[in-house]
Amino acid sequence: MTARRLVLLGAPGAGKGTQAERLVGKLGVPKISTGDALRQAVASGSELGLRVRGTMERGELVGDDIVIEVVRERLSRPDARGGFVLDGFPRTVKQAEALDRILAELGTALQRCVALGVEEDAVVERLLMRARIEGRSDDNAETIRHRIRVYRRDTAPLIDYYRVRSLLREVDGMGPVETVEQAIEEALAA
């Protein structure tokens, strides 16, 4: 694998988190998940958590300014200098443009965007199962379908954003975890 600064893109439940965990082990770079950071803030009862709790419970996206600052701070840490796997960011073109600016300020650039393609019904089932296993109150059928609509409206345009920049590699996310992992590795080397 050659790309070490990358974004994983895909609908909620596409397997981004699972694949990000596998990649960071192989690449030796940190996984940066805005969703994880925001959920931790809510669980801790921090000032940030109190500000974003209601938004997250409704299945809506947290405002760009907050998310961009979370990412800016995280990418500025020394362990991200050698690379990173972004999971759940960017979610909008505005965030992608902000990421480009942040990386330029840090003297680096994104190397690859891997988009995981999945079927909507499979995503709903995956997320309902995860909700039962992890006890996540933010994942119920209504909220999941809303999140998928939000993804199509706000995040799917990033596929073209990164395609135009020749950074996009599309991977079928419907296969077994190991098969998807292999396809991602091939996409990072291409």
Q: Choosing from 72, 130, 145, 163, which is the catalytic residue?
A: 130
User: Two tokens at 87?
Assistant: 């999971």
Answer yes or no: 130 catalytic: yes
From the list 58, 101, 132, 136, the catalytic residue is 136
Of the candidates 105, 113, 89, the one whose C-alpha atom is nearest the C-alpha of residue 167 is 113
Q: Which entry of 16, 31, 53, 112 is annotated as an active-site residue? A: 16
- 91 carries an active-site annotation: yes
Active site residue 147: yes
* Active-site annotation holder among 5, 31, 91, 126: 91
Q: CA separation (Å) from 24 to 19, 136, 141, 177, 185?
A: 9, 24, 30, 15, 12
Residue 71 in tokens = 């990412």
In the set 31, 112, 126, 147, the catalytic residue is 147
Question: Which among 24, 40, 41 has a CA at the least distance from the CA of 32?
Answer: 24
Q: Tell me which residues are annotated as active site.
A: 16, 91, 130, 136, 147
